[in-house]
């Protein structure tokens, strides 16, 4: 299929994105403080210009050029064709900043607002923590419209680092019933409460034998005199000693009787009737001592560490813990997230009509959060109303409130004004990443945060993996995914200054082995690419050639993380 998706994600004003005209946010840049975290936070609130242009690569040395992107224009670039199938995207041409899917949304940086006003209500990290919001009635709602001061977009890796370190660690661990621990992180090592197996166990159906054969087949004590000997079944606790030259039928998993030296599989032995009425067991091969016996403690001894603290409780871990004698586990509780979907244009069912579209984020975010080990209540769709948003955020009891939409500076983009009204401390206000650069992270109270995802659906995914995932990972005490790099199956063009996150699918390549093939339909308003993707490739400014090894962010369902369903948490005010 030939199609021409091109996100055009790099028109606009690169200099603006880089924060060349950053206003004062209350505290100077943290030069010389030594702590990269403080410095990164200072970047987010920098008074001084912050440049994110790469030192090397395609954008190196180039002066930022101002490219005006018509916001509402009749001009529409004709779809370009690109190579069918595989991947790679259309090269960036600086004189044509138009996106085929949405020129305005991506071309023009949110940083292009040139207001030099300062924000007295944003608090820099150096200020004392804001108190928890008191209620929807105070203070008054500021208006959403009008230019917003230009924050400095943070480099993508720094923004992720800030999100990961926005909380010092997880809340205190809890002890829960075994099943409730699924998807959580162990707060203490899993130590065997018993030997495993806890007794010498038959590994096969057959006969427990003592010494070399042939063996006289005993009739177990208490068994009926007629009929085949029932033998020792799993769950029995044989006490009678099996003497040398004797055998007893035994089932897989049954406890080996005292005196037995081996197990002979049923298919390896033959029973013959004797003239005295007894029966004898013959085997063509000898039964060496220990054959088909699982010795007590073979897997572990009581007190052995089976898993370290910090291990993710997967279904397999639940099984191991049960086998090792656990009824409860002590693990970090799942962080609670509340998703607030903003936008009067959104429909929750049926076909898009009359300028209204389906909400693509509500159905996507809750299960995505579950896959990250987060307890996410059913997303709430809020009207585009400042007071409604203020009340919902102020009253939320979630560890992390995740909003979608309303991050830009349109007439009904209420997220920034609401944060100012709440006295929130903005930790990240814009990230040098495409799509999704208007994403934000704010501290509402010492242990409550808000992640503002842009409304364009792939931009929201970008915000989710950039800011929400690292924050929630720290809250859940989950380790970061192991760094993963894979060669590109096709070239990917880059933004001059910003990182790009591009959906990719794994493909076998004759030359490079397993590769990441860039997918089409990666425009900020599109989900078609990500829905077919295994991962997001982190494309550095300037782009990458075929064969270049790029960092990949695997999607939760391809990385093998355990999905966890929501377990009955209902957000206050939630349906
Ligand atoms: N003057 C400027 N305008 C915009 C800029 C800018 O820098 N200057 N940035 C653009 C970029 S980039 C993005 S991304 C968006 C972010 O906008 P918001 O976060 O304020 O989101 P909305 O305006 O509410 O919506 C944007 C877009 O996404 C659609 N949307 C919203 N929610 C959903 C949903 N749940 N499911 C499906 N689609 C959704 C919405 O209808 C809009 O089409 O701002 C640009 N503007
Ligand atoms: O175009 Mo925006 O980059 O979707 O974030």
Q: How far is the CA of 457 from the centre of ligand 1 (A)?
A: 9
pLDDT of residue 57: 34
Q: How far apart (Å, rounded) are the C-alpha atoms in residues 148 and 411?
A: 12
Q: How far apart (Å, rounded) are the C-alpha atoms in residues 318 and 326?
A: 9
The yes-or-no verdict on residue 243 having pLDDT over 90 is: yes
Q: What's the average model confidence in pLDDT over 497-508?
A: 96
The yes-or-no verdict on residue 128 having pLDDT over 90 is: no
Q: What's the average model confidence in pLDDT over 345-362?
A: 97
Task: Give the model's confidence band at 222: pLDDT under 50 very low, under 70 low, under 90 confident, else very high.
Answer: low
Element (H, E) at 433: strand 431-434
Query: For 332, phi and psi rounded to 5 degrees?
Result: -75, 140
Task: Give the model's confidence band at 54: pLDDT under 50 very low, under 70 low, under 90 confident, else very high.
Answer: very low
Sign of the four-CA dihedral 86, 88, 89, 95: negative
Radius of gyration for the chain, computed over Cα atoms and rounded to the nearest angstrom? 32
Going by alpha carbons, the residue nearest to atom 24 of ligand 1 is 405
The whole-chain average pLDDT of the chain stands at 77
Q: How far is the CA of 216 from the centre of ligand 2 (A)?
A: 81
* Integer angstrom CA distances of residue 414 from 118, 272, 405, 437, 491: 18, 88, 9, 17, 39
Contact yes or no for 43/153 (Cβ under 8 A)? no
Least confident of 93-107, 230-244, 354-368, 474-488: 93-107
Tell which residue, 264, 109, 126, 115, has the closest CA to residue 202: 264
The yes-or-no verdict on residue 70 having pLDDT over 90 is: no
Residue 12 CA, closest ligand 1 atom number: 7
Contact yes or no for 378/575 (Cβ under 8 A)? yes
Q: How far apart (Å, rounded) are the C-alpha atoms in residues 294 and 196?
A: 9
Contact yes or no for 25/45 (Cβ under 8 A)? yes
Q: What's the average model confidence in pLDDT over 359-374?
A: 95
The yes-or-no verdict on residue 101 having pLDDT over 70 is: no
* Integer angstrom CA distances of residue 298 from 194, 250, 295, 387, 552: 12, 20, 5, 64, 39
Task: Give the model's confidence band at 97: pLDDT under 50 very low, under 70 low, under 90 confident, else very high.
Answer: very low
Give tens-digit pLDDT for 457-502. 999 999 999 999 999 999 999 988 888 999 999 999 999 999 999 9
Element (H, E) at 238: none
Q: Does ligand 2 lie within 6 Å of residue 99's CB atom?
A: no
Torsion from C-alpha of 190, 191, 194, 199, nearest 10 degrees:
80
Q: Does ligand 1 lie within 6 Å of residue 108's CB atom?
A: yes
**Side-chain half-sphere exposure of 250, counting CA atoms within 13 A:** 31
Upstream peptide bond of 197 is cis (omega within 30 degrees of 0): yes
Q: Does ligand 1 lie within 6 Å of residue 11's CB atom?
A: no
pLDDT of residue 310: 94
Q: How far is the CA of 454 from the centre of ligand 1 (A)?
A: 6
Going by alpha carbons, the residue nearest to atom 3 of ligand 2 is 435
Residue 437 CA, closest ligand 2 atom number: 5
174: tokens are: 């809890």
C-alpha distance across the termini of the chain, in Å: 42
User: Residues 6 or more apart from 560 whose CB is under 8 A from it?
Assistant: none
542: tokens are: 């300037």
The yes-or-no verdict on residue 89 having pLDDT over 80 is: no
Q: Does ligand 2 lie within 6 Å of residue 456's CB atom?
A: yes
Q: How far apart (Å, rounded) are the C-alpha atoms in residues 251 and 253?
A: 6
Q: How far apart (Å, rounded) are the C-alpha atoms in residues 575 and 560?
A: 31
The yes-or-no verdict on residue 135 having pLDDT over 80 is: no
- Determine the residue of 110, 435, 458 to mutate for testing ligand 2's pocket, defined as the one with the most ligand atoms within 8 A of the Cβ atom: 435
Q: What's the average model confidence in pLDDT over 195-208?
A: 96
Q: Does ligand 2 lie within 6 Å of residue 524's CB atom?
A: yes
- Interface ipTM above 0.85: yes
Report angle CA 237, 240, 242 to the nearest 5 degrees: 115
Q: Does ligand 2 lie within 6 Å of residue 434's CB atom?
A: yes
Going by alpha carbons, the residue nearest to atom 43 of ligand 1 is 456
Ligand with smallest separation from the Cα of 352:
1
Q: How far is the CA of 459 from the centre of ligand 1 (A)?
A: 9
pLDDT of residue 511: 83
Q: How far is the CA of 376 from the centre of ligand 1 (A)?
A: 23
Q: How far apart (Å, rounded) are the C-alpha atoms in residues 480 and 260?
A: 50
Q: Does ligand 2 lie within 6 Å of residue 107's CB atom?
A: no
pLDDT of residue 148: 55
**Model pTM above 0.80:** no
Ligand with smallest separation from the Cα of 501:
2
DSSP-assigned beta bridge partners for residue 353: 356
Q: Does ligand 1 lie within 6 Å of residue 23's CB atom?
A: no
Residue 525 CA, closest ligand 2 atom number: 4
Q: Does ligand 1 lie within 6 Å of residue 456's CB atom?
A: yes
Q: How far apart (Å, rounded) are the C-alpha atoms in residues 424 and 433?
A: 23
Q: Exposure string (b/e) for 388-409, b if CB count within 10 Å is 16 or more?
A: bbbbbbbebebbbbbbbbbbbb
pLDDT of residue 88: 46
Report angle CA 167, 168, 171 to the nearest 5 degrees: 85
Q: Does ligand 1 lie within 6 Å of residue 404's CB atom?
A: yes
Going by alpha carbons, the residue nearest to atom 40 of ligand 1 is 455
Q: How far apart (Å, rounded) are the C-alpha atoms in residues 12 and 494?
A: 14
Tell which residue, 184, 114, 190, 110, has the closest CA to residue 153: 110
Residue identified by tokens 């550095």 is 540
The yes-or-no verdict on residue 218 having pLDDT over 50 is: yes
Q: Does ligand 2 lie within 6 Å of residue 432's CB atom?
A: no
Structural domains in the chain, CATH included, are 121-149+151-169+334-473 (3.40.980.10), 174-189+299-332 (3.90.105.10), 199-295 (2.170.190.11), 485-554 (2.40.340.10)
More confident residue, 178 or 237: 178
Composition of the chain by helix, strand, coil, percent to 5: 15, 20, 60
Q: How far is the CA of 455 from the centre of ligand 1 (A)?
A: 4
Q: What's the average model confidence in pLDDT over 412-438?
A: 96
59: tokens are: 């954008």
Q: What's the average model confidence in pLDDT over 112-126?
A: 30
DSSP-assigned beta bridge partners for residue 279: 273
57: tokens are: 């690569």
Q: Does ligand 1 lie within 6 Å of residue 524's CB atom?
A: yes
């Amino acid at each position: 299929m030939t199609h021409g998706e091109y996100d055009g994600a790099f028109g606009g004003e690169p200099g603006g994105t880089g924060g060349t005209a950053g206003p004062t946010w209350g505290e100077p840049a943290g030069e010389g403080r030594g702590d990269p975290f403080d410095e990164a936070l200072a970047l987010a609130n920098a008074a001084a210009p912050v440049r994110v242009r790469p030192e090397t690569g395609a954008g190196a040395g180039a002066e930022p050029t101002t490219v005006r992107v018509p916001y509402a224009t009749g001009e529409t670039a004709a779809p370009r064709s690109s190579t069918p199938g595989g991947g790679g995207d259309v090269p960036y041409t600086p004189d044509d900043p138009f996106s085929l899917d949405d020129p305005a949304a991506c071309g023009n940086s949110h940083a292009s607002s040139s207001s030099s006003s300062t924000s007295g209500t944003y608090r820099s990290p150096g200020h004392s923590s804001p108190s928890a919001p008191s209620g929807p009635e105070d203070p008054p709602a500021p208006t959403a419209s009008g230019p917003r001061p230009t924050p400095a977009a943070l480099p993508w890796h720094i923004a992720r680092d800030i999100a990961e370190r926005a909380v010092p660690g997880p809340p205190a661990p809890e002890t829960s019933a075994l099943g409730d621990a699924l998807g959580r992180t162990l707060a203490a090592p899993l130590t065997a409460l018993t030997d495993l197996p806890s007794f010498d166990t038959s590994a096969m159906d057959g006969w427990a034998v003592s010494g070399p054969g042939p063996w006289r087949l005993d009739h177990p004590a208490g068994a009926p005199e007629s009929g085949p000997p029932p033998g020792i079944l799993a769950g029995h606790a044989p006490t009678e000693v099996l003497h040398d030259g004797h055998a007893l039928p035994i089932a897989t998993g049954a406890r080996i009787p005292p005196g037995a030296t081996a197990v002979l599989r049923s298919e390896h032995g033959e029973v013959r009737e004797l003239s005295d009425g007894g029966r004898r067991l013959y085997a063509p091969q000898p039964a060496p001592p220990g054959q088909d016996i699982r010795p007590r403690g073979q897997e572990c001894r009581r007190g052995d560490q089976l898993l370290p603290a910090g291990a993710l409780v997967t279904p397999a871990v639940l099984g191991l813990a049960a086998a090792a004698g656990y009824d409860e586990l002590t693990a970090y509780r799942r962080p609670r997230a509340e998703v607030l979907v903003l936008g009067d244009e959104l429909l929750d069912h049926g076909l898009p009509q009359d300028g209204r579209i389906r909400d693509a984020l509500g159905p996507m975010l809750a299960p995505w959060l579950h896959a990250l080990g987060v307890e996410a209540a059913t997303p709430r769709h809020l009207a585009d109303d400042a007071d409604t948003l203020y009340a919902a955020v102020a009253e939320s009891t979630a560890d992390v409130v995740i909003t979608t939409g309303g991050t830009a500076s349109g007439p009904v983009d209420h997220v920034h004004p609401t944060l100012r009204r709440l006295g929130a401390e903005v930790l990240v206000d814009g990230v040098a990443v495409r799509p999704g650069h208007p994403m934000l992270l704010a501290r509402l109270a010492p242990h409550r945060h808000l992640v503002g995802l842009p409304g364009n659906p792939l931009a929201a995914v970008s915000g989710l993996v950039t800011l929400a995932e690292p924050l929630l990972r720290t809250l859940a005490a989950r380790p970061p995914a192991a760094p993963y790099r894979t060669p590109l199956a096709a070239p990917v063009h880059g933004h001059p200054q910003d990182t790009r996150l591009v959906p990719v699918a794994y493909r076998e390549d004759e030359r490079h082995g397993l590769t990441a093939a860039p997918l089409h339909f990666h425009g900020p308003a599109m989900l078609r690419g990500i829905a077919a993707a295994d991962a997001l490739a982190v494309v550095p400014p300037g782009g990458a050639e075929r064969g270049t090894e790029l960092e990949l962010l695997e999607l939760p369902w391809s990385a093998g993380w355990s999905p966890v369903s929501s377990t009955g948490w209902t957000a206050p005010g939630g349906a």
